[in-house]
Amino acid sequence: MPRKPLLLFLLTLFLTVLQIQWASPADGYVEETLSVLSPEALGVWAGVLLLFLQAVFARRAMPVLRQAGICTGLLAVYWLLANYVTFDARVASWSTFSAREIWAHVLPASVASIAVCGAAYFGLSCFIPRLGRAKKSR
């Protein structure tokens, strides 16, 4: 695998795990029953999705800033939905929560983590494609 897509995949995996762990409630996690919803598995799904998206963008010769913006926006939506599913599996499944009550818990818990991780992803996804160009110009 070429170096830049691998770095973007690892960045997506790391930030997804960090974001989901940061926003998720500490109680109610049963490892055996939720292995599909583990942050690592959710990070791999997002990483593969963004690799395919980056391949499409590369074929269209889209500017790096636009690529980073679109990928960051999609990743933020993915993280929000992953936080919803994680909260539903860890907390709401043990009691009676409506969808509105779940969103009332998930949105405030997700704002800071999505903003910080999204800014990190945007900045690094703008920087990583330029790594090769800086070495070639020397």
Amino acid at 69: G
Banded pLDDT at 69 (limits 50, 70, 90): very high
Choose between 28 and 121: higher pLDDT.
121
Amino acid identity for residue 74 in this structure: L
pLDDT in the model for residue 35: 57
- pTM for the structure as a whole: 0.80
Give per-residue pLDDT as tens, 1-32.
Answer: 577 888 888 888 888 888 888 887 666 555 54
Give the tens place of pLDDT for each residue, 72-81.
999 999 999 8
Q: Report whether pLDDT(132) > 70.
A: no
Q: Where are the domains of the chain?
A: 3-23+32-137
Q: How many residues does the chain have?
A: 138
